[in-house]
């Protein structure tokens, strides 16, 4: 490591008390320094140490701003790698007792429901005081309903049926608008002076309703890095379950397996079964999911994971090879969220791609379109 890199690491490790000797931090390092100081500054405070030159601790403990802990959680999750964040989160819970924030009804009343808060609640729900669990569930349910409202129309549109260009529709909707036929039918109305076509005959195509005797198997990694994807997957599963002719199964995994197929109607029940963190045994989970494959030609298997296998990959390769040979449609998702940002694991995922699994990162609406295309 070069001297600048070593100096940077020591500055972040020692915190603000090394500022006079090692200098300050700016940009991303400044954000990391503040996040580390927010948590570990409590250790200095316990020992009676204060900020240089001001005679008092700049942080002021939790009482200074009770809402700041929730902001810190979201910031730390973005700034640090998953292993580092999990260590910090454990220290926050066990050493500094930050969970007391979620046991205060007044604090909960002030929270603004949003997806970042939902991830925090999923992390802490098992440690919450029983007196406030109903309030936590109410907040989480509000966030999920909002996500479902946004996704449902996209999913229904994707599965609304194939366009039939030879059949006209009396239903005039933007989704059914046929611009090619509209252009052809109205060429005779071209206005040379205004240099535009006056369209008085709008054309719309019909959609053919289709039978969808399909099964979708969602195999979902519970590791902390997948929290965004877990939320959207649970909502997607609930929406897909409501479509005619589609059966959905959901299996959660780390080193253990939790089958939540019986909780599909309520995505919050699915999410409350999640235990974020822990090791990863992908092969064992995929092998378990094979029991749901009864008609391979009408089955879509979706593996949602970062592909960081904690066990040896042989079991995973064998299970995927069996499903590929049976002609199950295979999709591996490294992310399913609003950003659709891909995580590139370089060993296991390329091997699975060679075996016939499509590897991608998607937004939920893109997944709906892909599924609809596969099932035609």
What is the C-alpha to C-alpha distance for residues 320 and 289, in angstroms, rounded to an integer? 11
- Whole-angstrom Cα Rg for the chain: 26
- For the chain, give every residue range classified as CATH 3.40.50.410: 214-374
Residue 192 CB partners (closer than 8 Å, separation 6+): none
Chain centre distance of CA 122: 12
Residue 278 CB partners (closer than 8 Å, separation 6+): 222, 223, 254, 255, 256
Contact 276, 73 (CB under 8 A): no
Closest CA to 235 of 133, 337, 159: 337
The number of residues making up the chain comes to: 376
What are the backbone dihedrals phi and psi of residue 125, each rounded to the nearest 5 degrees, phi first? Answer: -60, -30
Which two structure tokens, joined as six digits, stand for 334?
A: 């490294």
Closest CA to 269 of 149, 141, 126: 141
pLDDT of the chain along its 376 residues, tens only?
A: 566 677 777 777 777 777 777 777 878 888 888 888 888 877 766 666 554 444 444 443 333 334 366 677 778 878 888 778 877 877 776 677 666 656 667 666 766 677 777 777 776 666 667 777 777 788 888 888 888 888 888 787 777 655 445 454 454 556 566 767 777 777 777 777 777 777 767 776 555 555 558 999 999 998 766 777 888 888 888 888 888 888 999 999 988 899 999 888 888 888 878 776 667 899 999 999 999 999 999 999 999 998 988 888 999 999 999 999 999 999 999 888 777 677 777 899 999 999 999 998 888 888 888 888 887 7
Which two structure tokens, joined as six digits, stand for 160?
A: 């609304």
The second-level CATH assignment, the architecture, of 214-374 is 3-Layer(aba) Sandwich (3.40)
């Amino acid at each position: 490591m070069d001297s600048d890199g070593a100096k940077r690491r020591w500055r972040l490790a020692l915190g603000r008390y090394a500022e006079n000797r090692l200098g300050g931090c700016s940009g991303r390092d400044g954000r990391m320094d503040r996040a580390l100081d927010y948590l570990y500054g409590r250790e200095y405070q316990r020992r009676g140490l204060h900020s240089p030159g001001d005679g008092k601790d700049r942080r002021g403990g939790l009482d200074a701003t009770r809402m700041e802990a929730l902001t810190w959680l979201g910031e730390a999750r973005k700034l640090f790698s998953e292993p580092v964040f999990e260590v910090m989160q454990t220290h926050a819970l066990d050493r500094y007792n930050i969970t007391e924030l979620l046991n205060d009804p007044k604090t909960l009343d002030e929270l603004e429901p949003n997806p970042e808060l939902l991830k925090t609640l999923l992390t802490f729900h098992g440690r919450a005081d029983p007196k406030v669990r109903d309030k936590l569930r109410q907040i989480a349910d509000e966030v999920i309903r909002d996500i479902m409202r946004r996704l449902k129309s996209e999913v229904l549109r994707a599965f609304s049926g194939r366009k039939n260009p030879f059949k006209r529709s009396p239903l005039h909707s933007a989704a059914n608008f046929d611009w090619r036929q509209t252009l052809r039918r109205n060429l005779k109305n071209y206005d040379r002076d205004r240099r535009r076509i006056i369209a008085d005959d709008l054309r719309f195509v019909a959609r053919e309703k289709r039978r969808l005797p399909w099964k979708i198997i969602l195999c979902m990694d519970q590791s902390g890095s997948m929290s965004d994807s877990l939320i959207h997957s649970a909502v997607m599963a609930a929406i897909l379950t409501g479509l005619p002719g589609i059966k959905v199964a959901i299996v959660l995994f780390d080193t253990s397996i939790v089958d939540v197929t019986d909780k599909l109607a309520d995505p919050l029940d699915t999410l409350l079964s999640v235990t974020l963190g822990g090791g990863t045994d992908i092969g064992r989970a995929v092998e378990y999911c094979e029991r749901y494959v009864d008609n391979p030609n009408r089955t879509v298997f979706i593996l949602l994971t970062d592909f960081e296998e904690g066990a040896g990959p042989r079991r995973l390769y064998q299970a995927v090879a069996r499903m590929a040979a049976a002609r199950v449609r295979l999709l591996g998702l490294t992310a399913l969220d609003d950003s659709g940002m891909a995580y590139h694991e370089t060993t296991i995922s390329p091997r699975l791609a060679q075996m016939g699994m499509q590897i991608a990162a998607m937004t939920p609406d893109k997944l709906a379109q892909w599924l609809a295309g596969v099932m035609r």
